[in-house]
Structure 1
């Protein structure tokens, strides 16, 4: 089911936001975060949500607008929200590139830009999970879901799937290490 997959993708994205947050805490202490992991997280956000996740949500939203304009109006301009998220992502990437290029950049500015991205992404996903997805599930008809599913390409998640791309190897290893550490702490 499309909504279940989108919700799972939100959980995957939350994992990455938590990693970004952890690396930001290292940066804020004045230590050197794992920039390879940070770049991989940003690279993932540039690829998967932009190319696959958001266009899929936009298709669902277009159907919702047609079936229940009032519900769609409550949600707002989803495409614009996605566009603003992409702009925030570009600011984060630029800030990290500036740090890596040893340009004069205030730590506080980098912190503010990255935190803003994390907070806005979480707020956006929470709104979708709370308002958008339930409204779509209620309003859309079976043929709508069939049309949406047929429009979706066979693109696989480059990080959270069996066909994961090599460029995300370091990030995948980092995620697995964090999961093992969390598991060990629970025991």
Structure 2
């Protein structure tokens, strides 16, 4: 089903960025990689601009709202997910603040940013697992073909972040630069991130 493919692809894109940042922080902590703050800022920007600003609203509007029309099953999980969606800006602000401290040379900046990022990544892992293990199976159980088409149409409104969007932000360009700048094995290691 196209709708499920889009949702799963978007989750995989997010997981890839989380993995990339986690890997980079591990290497920075070991002293084998110098911090590239422009790259880290670009990755944090992506985490806000796509998952928080585009993906979550689509889930609320097209997936959860439609599932609520079909069944009460999973209501507690959906309420938790919607509450987590509502807290997105608080999570992003904590991450941005920690990155700013790190980039400004705060003596505990690296550890602070690493903790903030690990909290963020752990949250998203749990969040996506709840969606994939509880909500998507309920959608498979209760949705009609018309429901699936409506969800797919809603999710197509903003293309996969790694394939670009119709909005002003070109996520394909951002992602290409992240891959080029990130060290192997997550990227090509071609040099520092450039946003030109």
> What TM-score, normalized to structure 1?
0.81
Distance 1:107 1:52, change over 3 A: closer
* Residue equivalent to 2:35: 33
Query: Cα distance, 1:88 vs. partner?
Result: 1.6
Alignment of 1:169 with 2:176, yes or no, is yes
1:21-100 mapped onto 2 (5 Å cutoff): 21-29=22-30, 32-58=34-60, 59-100=62-103
Aligned to 1:107: 110
Deviation at 1:10, TM superposition (A): 0.9
The whole-number CA distance in structure 1 between the counterparts of 2:36 and 2:140 is 40
User: Alpha carbon RMSD of aligned pairs, Å?
Assistant: 2.6
Aligned to 2:12: 11
Relative to its length, the structure with more helix (as a share) is: 1
Structure 1 unmatched ranges of 5 or more:
182-187
Q: Counterpart of 1:178 in 2: which secondary structure?
A: coil
Post-superposition shift, 1:114?
1.1
Aligned counterpart, 2:193: none
Give, in angstroms, the shift of residue 106 of structure 1. Answer: 4.4
- SS of the equivalent of 2:90 reads helix
Map 1:125-164 → 2, pairs under 5 A: 125-152=128-155, 154-158=157-161, 160-161=162-163, 164=171
Taking a change above 3 Å as real, the CA distance of residues 174 and 139 of structure 1, as seen in their structure-2 partners, is farther
- Deviation of 1:25 (Å): 1.1
Aligned length, in residue pairs: 180
C-alpha distance in structure 1 between counterparts of 2:120 and 2:187, whole Å: 27
**CA contact 1:23–1:34 (8 Å) conserved in 2:** no
